[in-house]
Amino acid sequence: MKQELTKIVKPIVNWYQSQEKTLPWKQDKEPYHVWVSEIMLQQTRIEAVRKYYARFMQELPTIQDLANVSEEKLLKLWEGLGYYSRARNLKKAAIQIENDYQGKMPTSYLELLKLSGIGEYTAGAIASISYQEKVPAVDGNVLRVISRVLASKEDVLLPETKRKITKKLLEIMPEEAGDFNEGLMELGEKICIPNTTPLCEKCPIKEFCIAKKENLTTKLPIRIKKQKRKIEKRTVFIFKYKEKIAIRKREKTGILANLYEFPNILRRNI
């Protein structure tokens, strides 16, 4: 299995290095830029992130600026990206960096994992892209690519599957670790796409893909969905006086903590 995966390394690195780097956070390997962009890209499409990233960096160009920003301003800069805990964790991690690392990003995967809001994927991305540490960065795109290459029937939503794929990739990481990781991610984003027929003829590793050989690309990866999320029905009140509209601040804890909303109550079934 290791020997089979080793064959994809050079083609992916060469393919990625040949791609035009038009995204602002890909034009340098500054760890602060990589960090912020990776956090923004979680649960958000690339094109949507562009304007938020530009505005964020204009207002908070350094880790020190991020550590010192007020929560009100931070959440305003994040407004529209959703999952506001991501923004709060950015600030918490920036304060950690100021206090524990003399204001400079940690330079190793294990140290990066100690920061608030930074998990295995983000730590792997920063460590490999900025410092060329030979560690994987496994996101949904990477899981899909490797599952198809190996024609794996394991559920990619399970943590155990991610651990297995991470271990396999760790064994084959090249010196150009950042380019390899970004190549895998970009391959999954542009070519080995989900929920439709992938663009196999454009794929740089098509000759090594078992799913392509066995005509399984549209059936993989396996994803066994969890139960549907709970939906609440609420009655929203709009109180308007001349040009003013009443809003209220949410509780300090829970979903969308400290954000503003129109007054509302849970709708009861009668």
- Quick check: helix, strand or coil at residue 269? coil
Which residue in the list 4, 20, 30, 38 is annotated as catalytic?
38
Residue 214 annotated to the active site: no
Residues in the chain, overall count: 270
Written as six digits, the tokens of 40 are 């923004």
């599952």: which residue's tokens?
A: 147
End-to-end CA distance of the chain: 60
Q: DSSP letter at 155?
A: B
CA atoms in the 13 A half-sphere facing the CB of 111: 13
Q: DSSP letter at 125?
A: H
Evaluate the omega torsion of the peptide bond into residue 221 and state whether it is cis, within 30 degrees of 0.
Answer: yes
Spatial contact of 219 and 228, defined as CB atoms under 8 Å apart: no
- Strands 234-236 and 240-241, sheet pairing: unpaired
CA atoms in the 13 A half-sphere facing the CB of 237: 9
- Give the catalytic positions in this structure: 38
